[in-house]
Structure 1
Amino acid sequence: MGKLQNRDAPLQSSHEELETTNEELQSTNEELETMNEELQSSNEELQTINDDLGRKTVELNQCNAFLEAIFASLPSAVIVVDRKFLIQTWNEAAQNLWGPKADEVNKQSLFSLDIGLPVERLRDPLHQCLIGAQAEQEMLIDALNNQGDSIQCHLSFNPLKDGSPEPQGVILLIKEVQPGLSS
């Protein structure tokens, strides 16, 4: 009988190890189920955020389309530069007057453009507008259009305001002056 007990001892030990392993697996399974529930909850939150972002993106695209329609409808060339004089907006009238398309000049320095507009003459009025020394300025300037014809332009410099103390840029409106007509 002693031999039998010796044989049962390893079997009993293996059985106890299996029971312990089974309990550990059940505990791990419960932890995984809890983690899965948390992940599902996080996924639902992310889906809600994604849906909100999708709606906001649609709204933003509609606003951008509306602004583009306004800029395209204006007879004046509209060039908006930020505080570093990088072009933020360049409308179709600007393209018709000077040549480059908006995507060709976007984020470029106004002063790096090689167009018929003598851009260096705009440096001081732009700077004055940015520092608030003169809220709105106007000037007449001789230029060349994209066909090389001499033209005279009426320029209006307006600060781009967003509620902060200093302007965030300058809105430059340029209208070709027809000979014999005052602007």
Structure 2
Amino acid sequence: MNEELRSTNEELETMNNELKSVSDELNHSNLFLHSILSSMTSIVVATNASFEIIAWNYRAQDVWGISEKEAIGCSLWDLDTGLPVHLLKAPLNKFKESAESTITIEIDGTSRRGKPVSAAVKVTRLSKLNGYGDGYLLMMDNQS
């Protein structure tokens, strides 16, 4: 009985060590991705196929006044940024059905801080890797 318990304990320790290693790798990858998004000077928003926000960089927070925690999980259409996102809906739905890989949409609005914003919104499909990546990357450069 003790031998069985010892063997089971060793197996559990091995599994815990492997799990910790995988968890550390995942944390490192997440920090690296966050570093890339934070370093970009453009507003970067990633959405899933239903246009729910899955990534929101610091520049988006700075311009729109909405934190990453507030934005993640929200629909792009429901987020109160001051940008008339309803004007993006028709072109994005058309893009969704097309074979194009990228489109650019010009849009004007006002930030939540009252500053005028004129933006070129470049939309790219997320690359599908192993079944993941069904969504869109929106990069906005404030031109005002």
Contact 2:54 2:72 in 1 (8 A): yes
- Taking the aligned partners of 2:59 and 2:103, their CA distance within structure 1 comes to 21
Report the Cα offset of residue 164 of structure 1.
6.0
* Corresponding residue for residue 44 of structure 1: 10
The residue type paired with residue 110 of structure 1 is L
Contact 1:125 1:157 in 2 (8 A): no
* Corresponding residue for residue 140 of structure 1: 106
Runs of 4+ in 1 over 4 A off after TM superposition: 164-167
Contact 1:130 1:170 in 2 (8 A): no
* Corresponding residue for residue 27 of structure 1: none
Matches within 5 A, 1:3-42: 33=1, 36-42=2-8
1:121 and 2:87 aligned: yes
Question: TM-score normalized by structure 2?
Answer: 0.90
Q: Percent identity?
A: 34
Higher relative contact order (CA 8 A, sep 6+): 2
- Taking the aligned partners of 1:122 and 1:42, their CA distance within structure 2 comes to 57
CA RMSD, Structure 1 to Structure 2 (Å): 1.9
Matches within 5 A, 1:134-173: 134-163=100-129, 168-173=134-139
Specify which of 66, 76, 82 is matched with residue 42 of structure 2.
Answer: 76
Other structure's SS at 1:112 match: coil
More deviation, 110-119/91-100: 110-119
Q: Against the structure 1 CA distance between its residues 166 and 107, is the aligned structure 2 distance closer, same or farther, given a 3 Å change threshold?
A: closer
Q: Against the structure 1 CA distance between its residues 125 and 166, is the aligned structure 2 distance closer, same or farther, given a 3 Å change threshold?
A: farther
Specify which of 15, 19, 24 is matched with residue 53 of structure 1.
Answer: 19
Other structure's SS at 2:77 match: helix
Q: Against the structure 1 CA distance between its residues 52 and 164, is the aligned structure 2 distance closer, same or farther, given a 3 Å change threshold?
A: closer
Report the Cα offset of residue 157 of structure 1.
0.3
* Corresponding residue for residue 33 of structure 2: 67
Gap runs ≥5 in structure 2: none
Contact 1:79 1:172 in 2 (8 A): yes
Matches within 5 A, 1:93-132: 93-132=59-98
Deviation digits for residues 143-176 of structure 1, max 9, x if unmatched?
1123212221010000011236896000000110
Gap runs ≥5 in structure 1: 1-32, 179-183
Question: TM-score normalized by structure 1?
Answer: 0.72
